Amino acid sequence: MKQAIEIQPLQCISKEQWMPLWQSYQTFYGAKLSEEVSCNTWKKLCSADTPHM
C-alpha cells in the first residue's frame, strides 16, 4: 500500500521552527554556516520569486 507524501510550503512554519532543522542539517553534513547565510537561505526558501521544485 502506497502512502501519499504531502509537502507543505515553508511559510506554514516560522523561522524559529525551521532553524533547529537547518542546524541539524549542518551538523549532519559537518558544515558551519554563518547566521547571515542561514538568514539568506531562509529568505530564498520562502520567496515566491525563487522556484523550488
Per run of 10 residues, the mean pLDDT along the chain (length 53 residues) is 78 84 96 95 83 58
**What is the secondary structure of 1-29 as a DSSP string?**
------PPPGGGS-HHHHHHHHHHHHHHT
Is residue 22 in some structural domain? yes
Q: Would you say residue 20 lies in a domain? A: yes
How many Å apart are CA 41 and CA 39, to the nearest integer? 5
Q: 5 lies in a domain?
A: no
- Domain annotation covers residue 42: yes
Amino acid 13: pLDDT = 80
**CA–CA dist 19, 42 (Å, integer):** 9
Domain of residue 43: give its range.
16-26+33-47
* 43 part of a folded domain: yes
Report the distance separating Cα 8 and Cα 18, nearest Å. Answer: 13
**Structural domain total, the chain:** 1
Place of cell 515566491: 48
Global pTM value = 0.67
Question: Is 52 within the bounds of a domain?
Answer: no
3-class SS of residue 53: coil
